Structure 1
């Protein structure tokens, strides 16, 4: 799960900084960056919840 967190964090950071490399007004760039961060956080939250529910805890047999 740690691997997916790193990939998602890097993708979210890239999505946040990428609008500032394109043309447009500062307000549009900022809004797009904030939307990208919100989407990244939402995906991360859903991924963590799905991974948590799909993981089985093995109990030692007696």
Structure 2
């Protein structure tokens, strides 16, 4: 059985789904990126880039 957490499911758990404009999303993403970049820098966290997709067809 598949359970979908649609609009009614969100209302059931007291969460109201709301849409934002693309400008608002851009601002949110910029703020989040800056925030997490500071956290990563402070913690000396580096991203490892893996090229798994190159071997996917092999």
TM range (shorter): 0.3 to 0.5
Larger Rg: 2
Q: Which has the higher contact order (CA 8 A, sep 6+)?
A: 1
